[in-house]
Amino acid sequence: MTTVIRYAEWSIGADRSENAPPPIRQVECVNCGERSETCTSQLGPDSWALRHAGLSGHGAYREIVTAYLRVTPAPGNPLYPQAEPFPTRPSYIPRPAPTRHSRRPA
């Protein structure tokens, strides 16, 4: 019996390919567990937290970010020159929920 163990360099980082989906953000109130809608911009979840704080007095939040990563062959890996682009949107990646932004008058 022969065992071959092959070592190759790979790298991982933010997926910056043309078709990569943007990060999806959401804010959760640490006090009551309520959450903002998911959004691909920072403005929506932040605005929700500001409104929620104003209405509830809750001041502690955590941000939940789903960011897409890409693993590619690193220099020295025999597959390095053959790196393929990230698929447009694999079926396992849900589409972000539509967001609604509203502002209070100043």
In terms of CB distance, is 31 or 66 closer to Zn ion? 31
In terms of CB distance, is 32 or 93 closer to Zn ion? 32
Count of Cβ atoms closer than 10 Å to residue 93 Cβ:
13
Figure out which of the listed residues 17, 46, 51, 58 binds Zn ion, where binding follows CB under 5 A.
58
List the Cα angle 98/100/102 in 5-degree steps: 170
In terms of CB distance, is 62 or 101 closer to Zn ion? 62
How many angstroms separate the CA atoms of 82 and 60, rounded?
46
Closest distance of CB 33 from Zn ion, Å: 7
Residue of this chain nearest to Zn ion (CB atom): 29
How many angstroms separate the CA atoms of 9 and 78, rounded?
9
In terms of CB distance, is 51 or 70 closer to Zn ion? 51
Q: Interface with Zn ion includes 29 (CB under 5 A)?
A: yes
User: What is each CA distance from 8 to 2, 41, 79, 80, in whole angstroms?
Assistant: 19, 36, 9, 10
| Residues found near Zn ion in the complex (CB under 5 A) | 29, 31-32, 34, 56, 58
